[in-house]
A and B are shown apart, each in its own frame.
Chain A
Amino acid sequence: GESVGLHLPTLSVQEGDNSIINCAYSNSASDYFIWYKQESGKGPQFIIDIRSNMDKRQGQRVTVLLNKTVKHLSLQIAATQPGDSAVYFCAENNAGGTSYGKLTFGQGTILTVHP
């Protein structure tokens, strides 16, 4: 069945370090991937997305890498700040399927940034 999962459930880093959060997906038909950040008591906040015709996309302090060969997705956060502490979810979408509005989420990685 389809699934999106994360290798590391928790990640602790020092302020100023770079963070890398990983995600594996099993549906080879997935063609759209999104990273969300969720702070305690809040809804998921869009960070960055990438389509399957790309292998890298950069935003402000964040980079998403997509490796379709091994079905792996990663989020890199540069110069991590305490405000980056949150749960990070990857999500995938299969536009070619009948459920093109449906996002499938992974379980999440807890990122803790120590000052």
Chain B
Amino acid sequence: NAGVMQNPRHLVRRRGQEARLRCSPMKGHSHVYWYRQLPEEGLKFMVYLQKENIIDESGMPKERFSAEFPKEGPSILRIQQVVRGDSAAYFCASSAGQGRIQETQYFGPGTRLLVL
């Protein structure tokens, strides 16, 4: 009964490179959420996706960031032309998507991105 899986766990990129973060939801879950956490802070919502649909991207920066959750495969959070300010822990969560609005979100272990 695997939980939410994220990879890589640690990612180092130089300024200007691209970062790709992957998230596989819990088995049977069809909703995925991405959050960012800066040191000593709480998590900040970025985007909410269902299979092949972006439901809410109100927390995503307007440029360089994109997310997808294809019909097959993991959800991908992509950051183009990374800058040092992108260094943070990125967490993915998933929920069952049974039609209830208030569903428990279960979090993965996160990807720690360091931009040099």
A residues within 8 Å of B by Cβ?
4, 31-32, 34, 36, 41-46, 49, 51, 89, 91, 93, 95, 98-108
Q: Find out whether the CB atom of B42 lies under 8 angstroms from the CB atom of A43.
A: no
Q: Find out whether the CB atom of B42 lies under 8 angstroms from the CB atom of A107.
A: yes
B109 at the A interface (CB under 8 A): yes
Which single member of A43, A49, A105 contacts B44 (CB below 8 Å)? A105
B1-45 interface code vs A (CB 8 A; 1 in, 0 out): 000101000000000000000000000000101010000111111
- What is the CB-to-nearest-CB distance from B85 to chain A, in angstroms, rounded to a whole number? 19
Which single member of A32, A36, A43, A101 contacts B48 (CB below 8 Å)? A101
Chain B interface, number of residues (Cβ within 8 angstroms): 27
Contacts of A102 in B (CB 8 A): 33, 45, 48, 56, 58-59
Residue of B nearest to A9 (CB): B40
Contacts of A104 in B (CB 8 A): 45
The distance in angstroms between the C-alpha atoms of A42 and B33, with both chains bound, is 17
B73-102 interface code vs A (CB 8 A; 1 in, 0 out): 000000000000000000100010000011
